[in-house]
Amino acid sequence: MKVALFLGACAGLALFAFLLMRQGLGEIAGFVAAAGWGMLLVPAFHLAPMTADTLGWWKLFPSGRRPRFRQLLWMRWLGESVNNLLPAAQVGGDVLRARLVMLGGVSGPVAGASVVAQLTVGVFTQAAFTLLGVGLLAARRGGEGLLAPIAGSLVIAVVLFGGFYAVQRFGMFRLLAKLASRLRESDAWKSILENGSAFDTEVRAVYQRKRDLAMSGAWTMLGWVVGAGEIWIALWVLGVPATFAEAVILESLSQAVKGVMFLVPGALGFQEGGFIVIGAALGIPAPMALALSLVRRFRDIAMGVPGLLIWQWIEGRRLWNRRGATAET
């Protein structure tokens, strides 16, 4: 995994530099500079889709054991910061979210099950959101052979993640732990087996609450759609007149590219390439499409850097308190 992340980062950085040089760094910088302070509207608006997504996560906790919403909101923010800025294969932030929930007093199986279930919900709603973007693009361009290949790829993705969902229901973690316990009998492995069984029980319990699962999907889907408002605002501050439907096309398909290239930190380079290709279909010049991607990068940095600093402060304080308690004893 480390080698794959390193190679992905190198490939993404090379592609990013190539696209900037090919399209003209000075022209792109001019577009971004013209946006000025208007770029601050993009990270400010990001609170809206983040709130919707957090509500989707909140619904996956058992009733009566749900953390406070405002706690989950800042945990969601810190997790996104890790996913956007650190080479963590787009899942490190989700592990961090589960950890933070556990530190807040929620049991490990419940915290982990909520995150795993939301990842599954996120995949299916993103597939629906991408299909929405493909449909809007096909309607705009009259088809032109776009719908069949992209829809086929989405079907494959849904089948694969549907298999992941089925494995969760069948008891993935319990079976893995049981196999490990047979290979090596010890109390440590027995503890893993017990935790794996508890985890599986909580995951199945989440999927049995159909109403909460449906509400989570609805809030998550709303978050995807509202997130297109960031693209619409970014285009507006860049001086590009665009409809909200065009913003949905750009957001949905660029997010699909980012999801596919999860091994590349922040989908660096590939996000820019996706904006160029999708923008060309909408009549947006390549330099302007790159400027749009850089405005999105600005949002990631503006929200991500403070998030990473707060995360480090939390971990540092816990380490300091632990050392203080050890010194007293």
pLDDT at position 22: 86
Return the pLDDT at 48: 96
Confidence of residue 229 (pLDDT cuts 50, 70, 90): very high
- Does residue 211 carry a pLDDT above 70? yes
Angle between helices 92-103 and 108-141 (to 10 degrees): 140
Whether pLDDT at 155 is above 80 = no
| Spans of all domains in the chain | 2-170+209-328
Give the per-residue pLDDT at 189. 43
Mean pLDDT, range 59-71, rounded to an integer: 90
| Low-confidence winner among 89-93, 242-246, 269-273, 320-324 (lowest mean pLDDT) | 89-93
Q: Which of 106, 121, 107, 76 is nearest to 94 (CA)?
A: 76
Residue-level pLDDT at 191 = 47
Q: Picking from 6-15, 118-127, 187-196, 286-295, which range would have the lowest pLDDT averaged per residue?
A: 187-196
Q: 43-52, 229-238, 319-328: which has the minimum mean pLDDT?
A: 319-328
pLDDT of residue 178 exceeding 70: no
Tokens of 91: 């899942």
Interatomic CA distance for residues 286 and 74, integer angstroms: 35
pLDDT value for 93: 83
Tell me which range, 66-75, 175-184, 310-319, is most confidently predicted by mean pLDDT. Answer: 66-75
62-71, 172-181, 261-270: which is most confident: 62-71
Q: Where are the alpha helices (DSSP H) in the chain?
A: 2-23, 25-35, 41-45, 47-58, 69-85, 92-103, 108-141, 147-170, 172-183, 187-208, 210-237, 244-260, 270-281, 286-328
Q: Is the pLDDT of residue 218 over 80?
A: yes
What is the number of alpha carbons within 13 Å of residue 289 lying toward its C-beta?
Answer: 25
pLDDT in tens, 261-283: 777 777 888 888 889 988 888 88
In this structure, the number of other CB atoms found within 10 A of the CB of residue 91 comes to 14
Average pLDDT over residues 196-217: 86
Q: Higher confidence at residue 146 or residue 122?
A: 122
| pLDDT(288) > 60 | yes
Q: What is the DSSP letter of 184?
A: S
Whether the CB-CB separation of 97 and 71 falls below 8 Å is answered with no
CA-closest candidate to residue 117, choices 10, 212, 189, 221: 212
With cut-offs at 50, 70 and 90, classify the pLDDT of residue 193: very low
What's the token pair of residue 185? 């009998």
Whether the pLDDT of residue 13 is over 90: the answer is no
When mean pLDDT is compared across 84-88, 169-173, 273-277, the lowest value belongs to 169-173
255 class by beta-carbon count within 10 Å (0-12 exposed, 13-18 middle, 19+ buried) = buried
Query: What is the distance between the alpha carbons of residues 170 and 176, in angstroms, rounded to a whole number?
Result: 12
Percent of the chain whose predicted confidence (pLDDT) is above 70? 78
Please report the pLDDT score of residue 55 as a whole number.
96
- CA dist., res. 152 & res. 147, Å (int): 8
- Identify the band that residue 238 occupies on the pLDDT scale cut at 50, 70 and 90: very high
Rounded to the nearest 5 degrees, what angle is found at the Cα of 89, between the Cα atoms of 83 and 92?
A: 50
Residue 192 has pLDDT above 50, yes or no: no
For residue 168, what pLDDT is reported? 55
Mean pLDDT score of the chain: 81
